[in-house]
Amino acid sequence: MQENNKKKKIILKALAKVVKELRGEKSQFMFCSENDISTSIISTIEHAKKDPQMTTLFKLAEAFDMTASQFMKLIQDELPKDFYLIEK
């Protein structure tokens, strides 16, 4: 179970990095106001504290003017090359 928590944290850190980079210099408040996203949600995502809902990921992708698959690819690219949630 602890190994799964470590792996989850790796994914959340990758998501946090991507969101911060894409948001750029725009404040969390401004970004959230423009995209109907809660500032508390963005804060927890950018601090890798919470696993967001699927709908939130789609909304973030739209906010960054990309498809969900493009957004997920950016997150995937931040993961270690040999990263798997399920051991093979």
Q: Does 86 reside within a domain?
A: no
User: Tens of pLDDT along 5-55?
Assistant: 899 999 999 999 999 999 999 999 999 999 999 999 999 999 999 899 999
The CATH number that applies at residue 19 is 1.10.260.40
* Per-residue confidence band for 1, with pLDDT thresholds at 50, 70 and 90: low
Q: Does 83 reside within a domain?
A: no
Residue 64 DSSP label: T
- Helix (H), strand (E) counts: the chain: 5, 0
Q: Does 59 reside within a domain?
A: yes
How many structural domains are present in the chain?
Answer: 1
pLDDT beyond 80 at 88: no
Q: Does 55 reside within a domain?
A: yes
- Predicted confidence at residue 3, as pLDDT, reads 79
In 3-state terms, what secondary structure has residue 42? helix
Q: Does 71 reside within a domain?
A: yes
Range of the domain at 48: 2-78
* Per-residue confidence band for 72, with pLDDT thresholds at 50, 70 and 90: very high
Structural tokens at position 3: 């190994």
